[in-house]
Structure 1
Amino acid sequence: MNARATPSLRIARLVIENFRTFRGPTEIAFTSGGAADEMPVFHGANGAGKSNALAAIDLFFRVASYWLSKAVSTGGIKPLDTALKLRWDFRDSHFGLSMNHRSWPPGVRDPQRIEVHFDDARLGALRVTLTPSGNDVILGLEMATSSQAKSWREPKGKTVSRLPSKPGAPPWEAPTENGPQDDEISALKNAIEAPLGPGSKPFFLLDARRRDFRGIGEGGPHEEGASTLSSATAERLLALATSLDPEETERWRIFVDLIHRFKTLSDREISVLRAPMAGGEVTDLRFEVRGKQILRLSELSSGEQQVVALVAAVLTSRAALVAIEEPEMSLHPENQELVRDILREQVQRGVVDQIFLESHVQVFDGPEVLRFSRSTEGETLVTRQPSRSDRELRARARESGADEQWVTPDGYTRLPSEMRNNLGLQNGGYLWFLRSRPEGRWEAWTEAELDEQLGLGGTSSKDA
């Protein structure tokens, strides 16, 4: 991959206020004293606010990109409150930006703020603000003024008015005529809108359940057809496969190599082409065992389709930040681990700056995870906690012949709710299966019980 000229967009901290289930301000830390997480993992029950946090990041980049585009095209926004006063029915198809009352918490019309603190000191921190004003909403963009935000400096002989700050919060500066100069605004625009070079984007959100995406500058959901990929992803794969550009050719080679790491696809030649369909053509993938069988993507198993969609999304999105909702869908546990390793490798290789995962399994966990919950008032709460995974315990359990199954609060293992309650797994957890001695009967154990069984306490069991 070519060296990049723009700063990394990896996020170290996110603050959300008055957005959907976030009242706030609610801080989400993607670091614990060191560098920001390569692959933050969100855990929590359905409706806890995980998707809303990803939507807030998405909105941040859409608003920032739109604001910076207007600032550069008009030679600077002066004054800010009139230049970006938009009506509630405003829509912009390129940036995918729309104004909607429903993104505020019920009964709240205070300013909506999304604050991003980047890991790269050259970017520092930026905050977008959406302020309701009668039939309009006012968009604002501010940046932290600190010694670490090196790209932004206070012009000599001018006074910069700062917004009131809460204790511990950075001072903020609105980029008007007293703020950063036009060349600095242009540099920020380039860093945000094209972080990986021409044609790239800041943020890409993949809904793994529908293998679909939402990206700046691209259309809506894919139409019905032979391919289970979105039309934009399929077209990007075709462009990679047929390109004469060495970097694009290398991306196609990496895509094929990664797909071949999965056992059931390891012996298939992969090609991408346009095939005739009713009313036109569709771009689709072909998987061939030479001289024996050719399969379309839609004819692969659901797990194999998931593998292709995840790898294609990361490699073709050309996004600095990638978010994936429920990457574990349809995947065998062994393939979940392989997907985890592949995703982490792409961050380490610099293909993407950071990957966010919203998951209901622990396979993807790092040392710490973000746990989402809802208060009795319906407000999203986020805490950073050590991962519950215990690798040593798992290794000892498997040596004893135990297998494990993740149980989610929604019962993805299809256990009856009464059984989950009796096992104390209302909030999810691991259920382990061992063959008892001497009867040879299978028994189900919770993690705490297994801990005791392996010599750390007394013993007890529950028959499966």
Structure 2
Amino acid sequence: MNARATPPLRIARLVIENFRTFRSPTEIVFASGGTADAMPVFHGSNGTGKSSALAAIDLFFRLASYWLSSAVSAGGTKPLDTVLKLRWDFRDSHFGLTMNHRSWPPGVRDPQRIEVHFDDARLGALRVTLTPSGNEVILGLEMATSAPAKGWREPRGKKVSRLRPWEELTENGPQDDEISALKNAIEAPLGPGSKPFFLLDARRRDFRGIGEGWPHDEGTSTLSATTAERLLALATSLDPEETERWRAFVDLIHRFKTLSDREISVLRAPISGEEVTDLRFEVRGKQILRLSELSSGEQQVVALVAAVLTSRAALVAIEEPEMSLHPDNQELVRGILREQVQRGIVDQIFLESHVQVFDGPEVLRFSRSPEGETRVRRQPSRSLDRLRAHARESGAEEQWVTPDGYTQLPAEMRNKLSLQNGGYLWFLRSRPEGRWEAWTEAELDEQLGLGDGSSKDT
């Protein structure tokens, strides 16, 4: 991979105000020990604001890119305190922007702010503001930087926490060449054709980046047309770096056991009267399958790996990467994603998940207050491997509850409960201790007159 000319876009801190479920300013910290997380994981119940946080990051880059593109023109650079006035019916297909009231909390029309503090001091921090004003929305961009005044030279050891207050920025803001450099760093962080951010909805296996219109407007195809075209370009390119990305894609797919013996190719084929770009998986001389003919879990693996390797985005966000994946493959996906950050393919990956497999030291817990506001706290979780090790140290060699919800009991316990041939158990909470107790069918029949055989087999 060629050396990059722009600073990494890795985010250390995010502040959101008056956006969807975020009303009062809410700070989300993506750093510990002075270093930004490589792969932050969002956990929380449905409706607690995880997707809203990712949507806020997405909107931030769209707005910042639009402002910078408008401010930096062939004739010069507008000052940083310039504001842009957009009508409520404003739409821009390139940046995927549309102005409407739906992104504000119900009944709120105060300024909406999204503030990003980057890990690299040369980028400092940026804040976009949307202020409703009659039939218009006023878009503003503010910048704080601790880098030297000219270009992207090495910082003087200052961190984001030492930035000047926002109200001081207008008087002593960045110079024209700094704004031009910022535009390049935000719009093409990994070089020509790259993008700052993309958001992948793993449930739909689709995404759109800046320059590709509005997100999620290609339906629910197995693989988005955009991603398929990118794979075709990689597979047929004469550029060594692009060819290497295609090889990396194939190698990563082959790490999944059920796909390890298949040759992978990408081609155009007529489907339902239209020429469509599709993937082909072949066991030579025996079987050829299209992507849509693989299992749902295999399709998910292909979509996730393809999206990360073809996006050309510095920051990647994936909603529910665990969809359709066995826990073993979830662990493999987690490892593969982290490798892409370590290799410099992407700067940072955000995951919104409902399973513990993706847990680690970078977990953020989302919840809702009684008033309906989103709350976020950093709560590192113990890894599953550590829990297993601790259980083994305590004499528990087996996991008794299967992923399907069935309970597997050690032979000694089955014998003691007279369940050598299987049967039913009911788990009831005792009073007043509140511990869970296992009751056999015969015991419930005797005590409560129950035991209709409606629960899971052991």
Q: TM-score range by the shorter chain?
A: 0.7 to 0.9
Q: Distance in 2 between matches of 1:380 and 1:357?
A: 18
- Per-residue deviation, 1:184: 1.1
- Per-residue deviation, 1:16: 0.3
Q: Retained in 2: the 8 A contact 1:41–1:364?
A: yes
Alignment partner, residue 386 of structure 1: 380
Q: Retained in 1: the 8 A contact 2:369–2:375?
A: yes
Change in 2 beyond 3 A, CA 1:392/1:434: farther
- Per-residue deviation, 1:389: 3.7
- Per-residue deviation, 1:405: 5.3
Q: Does 1:98 align with 2:109?
A: no
Matches within 5 A, 1:71-90: 71-73=71-73, 75-77=76-78, 80=81, 84-90=84-90
Q: Retained in 1: the 8 A contact 2:357–2:384?
A: no
Change in 2 beyond 3 A, CA 1:137/1:228: same
- Per-residue deviation, 1:367: 1.8
- Per-residue deviation, 1:143: 1.1
Q: Does 1:35 align with 2:35?
A: yes
Q: Retained in 1: the 8 A contact 2:150–2:177?
A: no
Alignment partner, residue 110 of structure 1: 110
SS of 2:35's equivalent?
coil
Alignment partner, residue 401 of structure 1: 398
Alignment partner, residue 58 of structure 2: 58
Matches within 5 A, 1:185-200: 185-200=179-194
5+ unaligned residues in a row in structure 2: which ranges?
152-160, 428-434, 440-455
Alignment partner, residue 241 of structure 1: 235
Matches within 5 A, 1:196-275: 196-220=190-214, 221=216, 223=218, 228-275=222-269
- Per-residue deviation, 1:435: 2.8
Q: Retained in 2: the 8 A contact 1:229–1:309?
A: yes
- Per-residue deviation, 1:177: 8.6
Change in 2 beyond 3 A, CA 1:78/1:10: closer
Matches within 5 A, 1:38-187: 38-73=38-73, 75-77=76-78, 80=81, 84-145=84-145, 148-150=146-148, 170-172=164-166, 179-187=173-181
Q: Retained in 2: the 8 A contact 1:85–1:138?
A: yes
Q: Distance in 2 between matches of 1:171 and 1:223?
A: 42
Q: Retained in 2: the 8 A contact 1:123–1:150?
A: no
Structure 2: which amino acid aligns with 1:462? A
Deviations 1:70-91 (A, max 9, x none): 111152335955x510001100
5+ unaligned residues in a row in structure 1: which ranges?
154-166, 407-412, 416-430, 447-458
SS of 1:46's equivalent?
coil
Q: 2:311 aligns with which of 308, 317, 321?
A: 317
- Per-residue deviation, 1:401: 2.0
SS of 2:379's equivalent?
strand
- Per-residue deviation, 1:152: 7.4
Aligned length: 416
Change in 2 beyond 3 A, CA 1:65/1:303: same
Alignment partner, residue 426 of structure 1: none
Q: Retained in 1: the 8 A contact 2:252–2:336?
A: yes
SS of 2:337's equivalent?
helix
Structure 2: which amino acid aligns with 1:338? L
- Per-residue deviation, 1:365: 1.2
- Per-residue deviation, 1:445: 12
Structure 1, 122-131 or 292-301: larger mean CA deviation: 122-131
Q: Distance in 2 between matches of 1:404 and 1:151?
A: 60
Q: Retained in 1: the 8 A contact 2:9–2:314?
A: yes
Q: Distance in 2 between matches of 1:350 and 1:214?
A: 21
Q: Retained in 1: the 8 A contact 2:149–2:175?
A: no
Structure 2: which amino acid aligns with 1:99? M
Structure 2: which amino acid aligns with 1:142? E
SS of 2:130's equivalent?
strand
Q: Retained in 1: the 8 A contact 2:80–2:141?
A: no
Q: Retained in 1: the 8 A contact 2:363–2:379?
A: yes
SS of 2:51's equivalent?
helix
Q: Retained in 1: the 8 A contact 2:37–2:362?
A: no
SS of 1:54's equivalent?
helix
Change in 2 beyond 3 A, CA 1:376/1:339: same
- Per-residue deviation, 1:279: 4.2
Change in 2 beyond 3 A, CA 1:245/1:108: same
Q: Distance in 1 between matches of 2:410 and 2:375?
A: 40
Alignment partner, residue 344 of structure 1: 338
Q: Distance in 2 between matches of 1:445 and 1:356?
A: 39
Structure 2: which amino acid aligns with 1:258? L
Structure 2: which amino acid aligns with 1:76? T
Alignment partner, residue 23 of structure 2: 23
Q: Retained in 1: the 8 A contact 2:144–2:169?
A: no
Q: Distance in 2 between matches of 1:3 and 1:244?
A: 20
Percent identical among aligned pairs is: 80
Q: Retained in 2: the 8 A contact 1:444–1:461?
A: no
Alignment partner, residue 7 of structure 1: 7
- Per-residue deviation, 1:33: 2.5
Alignment partner, residue 303 of structure 1: 297
Deviations 1:341-360 (A, max 9, x none): 00000000000000000000
Let me know the Cα RMSD of the aligned residues. Answer: 2.9
Q: Does 1:435 align with 2:416?
A: no
Q: Distance in 1 between matches of 2:14 and 2:6?
A: 21
TM-score relative to the length of structure 2: 0.84
Q: Distance in 2 between matches of 1:354 and 1:194?
A: 15
Deviations 1:317-350 (A, max 9, x none): 0000000000000000000000000000000000
Q: Retained in 1: the 8 A contact 2:206–2:218?
A: no
Q: Distance in 1 between matches of 2:14 and 2:425?
A: 40
Structure 1: which amino acid aligns with 2:123? L
> Radius of gyration: which is bigger?
2
Q: Distance in 2 between matches of 1:22 and 1:234?
A: 35
